[in-house]
């Protein structure tokens, strides 16, 4: 199934999120929405070295290397990101 992006994150079932994430991965040519690095590689050193307060995030947050990023104000999806980029976006940029 192909989705019309962006989609409202809160209106898609959690089982659909992986399909939306995969569609973003394809449309982004396998690059992270945030850092533009390849999603099948580690994020760049400037992201990897950022200190993260893991207490801000749920257990298992890093279990999946690629996340579906969404805006917490509009709930609309934005793209596929490295898990660490997702943490950096939230902690340092409020996204």
Is 4 part of a structural domain of the chain? no
Instruction: List, for the chain, all residue ranges whose pLDDT scores fall below the cut of 70.
Output: none
CATH number of the domain within which 84 lies: 3.40.1800
pLDDT of residue 94: 84
Q: Is 2 a member of any domain?
A: no
**pLDDT for the residue 12:** 95
Question: How large a percentage of the chain has pLDDT more than 90?
Answer: 95
Instruction: Classify residue 70 by burial, with Cβ atoms within 10 Å: 0-12, 13-18, 19+.
Output: buried
For residue 1, tell me if it sits in a domain: no
């Amino acid at each position: 199934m192909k989705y019309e992006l962006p989609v409202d994150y809160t209106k898609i079932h959690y089982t659909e999120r992986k399909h939306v994430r995969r569609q973003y991965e394809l449309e982004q040519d396998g690059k992270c929405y945030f850092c533009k690095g390849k999603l099948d590689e580690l994020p760049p050193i400037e992201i990897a070295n950022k200190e993260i307060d893991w207490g801000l995030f749920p257990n298992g947050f890093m279990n999946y290397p690629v996340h579906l990023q969404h805006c917490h104000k509009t709930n609309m999806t934005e793209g596929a990101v490295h898990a660490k980029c997702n943490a950096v976006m939230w902690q340092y940029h409020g996204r």
